Amino acid sequence: METYLRQIKSWSFLILVLAPFVMLGLTVGIGYLSGTSGQDSQRIAVIADRSSLRKQFIRQNKSDVKADIHSTSAAKKAVKANQIAGYLVLKSDAQQVTATYRGGQSLANGLKAQVDVLLAQQQQQLNLANAKLSTAQAQALQQQPQFKQIVHKKTGSDKIARLISFWVMVLLVYMILITYSSITATEIASEKGTKIMEIIFSSTTASKYFLGKILGVLLVIMTQLVVYVVGGWSSYLVAQRVSISKELVANNQDLINKVLGNLFSVNLVYLLLGVVLYTILAAFSGALVAKAEDASKAAQPATYLSMIAFFATFPFQNNADVLVVKILSYVPFFSSYFMPLRIIDQSVSGWAVVGSLAILLASILLLIRYIGGIYEGLMLQTDDTSFWKSFKRGISYR
């Protein structure tokens, strides 16, 4: 409990927890500001001899048209003042519809396509009228081709969702592992340096104390995850309602649902257990240093191992069903990275997940038991020797 309270009251924890939300806020804010400030100069004016034609174009391209400019002279002035990107002049007589765009740069592709569509529609109406066709003939010419697409399960947005889920998951695991390994190793190494351990071990057993430490860190991690889940969900709900992000969320609803589905799943259990396992390793190496100044050294084994596992996932982001991934998804210290990879890829059975989790859980319990047993020896010997000598002496201290 002391470990938990000390950690969650620290500035580093607050920064750690709030950083993603601050970053999200900043990104959205900057995006919104740059979007609104740059919007006017990107828009165009539309001038037409037939007001119905102009209105139709404006209705279809509301966000791209500055509607309060009606005349060519006003448009020219606005272009000069850099208030608009250019202006489109639409003309229509009995035979032909024409559109002329004048501006510093060519019309944006999306908008040009809209202009083409409008011109084609208008020209077709003129052509039909001029051809003086019967109703049946006119209807026959209205016949449109049909295009159908059937998307298989593992293509399209599903593939993008997997890729996003992979990166979010792997980065999340990596960041949290590195952070907590460092926090734990530093905390334990600093206690060892002060030799307060003799007083503590005259009050409680070393294994109980070690377990308490790990549980304390586990509670801190769970607090962080709860904040992330609640904060992430709230941000998602807000994003669905706020005008600047509403459209983006609506357009990508399917993708977002898939990514969220991949994240809020058994993968979170892997994240949690992975952090616990790495925390135990960090605590163990923290107990091997002689003084607090060496705490950064203490975190190295856990940090390096985590980095190796992290980088090892890179080649397999698109082929999660190869043998190496299958093997590593059962190996403790690696399974927290590799099994989520397979789960996201949907190429693993439920039983395999249960088996891998059981191995991970058993490794945690065994490590706690083993390190809890030698913890007193490790913490009470303070000779400044090498890592391995310190380890050997710690084991044989009693």
Question: Which residues form the interface with another protein (CB under 8 A)?
Answer: 2, 194-196, 198-205, 208, 376, 380, 397-398
Q: How far is the CB of 235 from another protein (least distance, A)?
A: 34
Q: How far is the CB of 204 from another protein (least distance, A)?
A: 6
Q: How far is the CB of 238 from another protein (least distance, A)?
A: 38
Closest CB to another protein among 200 and 242? Answer: 200
Question: CB count, 10 Å around CB of 315?
Answer: 11
Per residue, the 3-state secondary structure of 273-289, as one string, reads: HHHHHHHHHHHHHHCCC
Closest CB to another protein among 216 and 301? Answer: 216
Please give the structure tokens belonging to residue 93: 């007589």
Q: How far is the CB of 282 from another protein (least distance, A)?
A: 20
Minimal CA–CA distance to 353: which of 232, 268, 227?
A: 268
Q: How far is the CB of 205 from another protein (least distance, A)?
A: 5
CA atoms within 13 A on the CB side of 337: 28
Closest CB to another protein among 2 and 247? Answer: 2
Minimal CA–CA distance to 281: which of 166, 352, 387, 357?
A: 387
Beta strands (DSSP E) in 269-371 are none
> Could you give the C-alpha distances from 94 to 129, 130, 203, 212, in angstroms and in order?
9, 8, 100, 87
Q: How far is the CB of 224 from another protein (least distance, A)?
A: 21
Closest CB to another protein among 13 and 270? Answer: 13
Closest CB to another protein among 190 and 252? Answer: 190
Residue in the block written with tokens 């892997």: 270
Q: What is the DSSP letter of 65?
A: B
Closest CB to another protein among 15 and 140? Answer: 15
